[in-house]
Amino acid sequence: MESADRAEEQRDWTDGHVEQWLPVLPGLDPVVEGAVTRMKKLSVHLQRVREQSLVDFALDRPEFDTLHKLAGRGGTATPSQLATDLDLAPASVTGRLDALERRGFLRRTPSTTDRRRVHVELTESGRATWRGAMDMLGDEESRVLGALSRGEQEALNDMLRRIMVLAEARG
């Protein structure tokens, strides 16, 4: 009950937002409006942290996305696999790989079995840069969800899953 009492004492921006709109929209459900507005504001907050992490690690979004997909494949892939993962034309991936290779974040090596194939491999520098940007966001996610106990985090995760199942079912 102590955490519920603490939550009632603390106000956030959304509390004022809901209070402002209740007289204007008498049918407004303050619980639904509060939850949806908080989810949107949290999403925007985390997006800002993500963008700042890219600035801090001198990456642009396409570079980060390419490193991320490469890391997600265990650090090695072919250019065509990356093109598929990134939903890009192979020529677009080539330009990204060129830039990342110049920065020392990846290396391309010819296949030993098929001279027409190339393998792309994340370098230690590329992995450290990608990981640093990821950790910055992960640290903030842990910080804000640290307001909840582990059980509350699990309950929130389960509740959001139920909501997303309905949202995804609509397409």
pLDDT in tens, the chain (171 residues): 555 555 567 999 999 999 999 999 989 999 999 999 999 999 999 999 999 999 999 999 999 999 999 999 999 999 999 999 999 998 899 999 999 999 999 999 987 888 788 999 999 999 999 999 999 999 999 999 999 999 999 999 999 999 999 999 987
Question: Which pLDDT does position 8 carry in this prediction?
Answer: 61
Which amino acid does the sequence have at 86?
L
pLDDT of residue 117: 87
Both tokens assigned to 6: 């603490």
Predicted pLDDT of residue 7? 56
93: alpha, beta or left? (left if phi > 0; alpha if psi -120 to 50): alpha
pTM here is 0.79
Contacts of 137 (CB under 8 A, 6+ apart): 46, 49, 50, 53
Cα gap 154→149, rounded to integer Å: 9
Q: Output the pLDDT for position 5.
A: 57
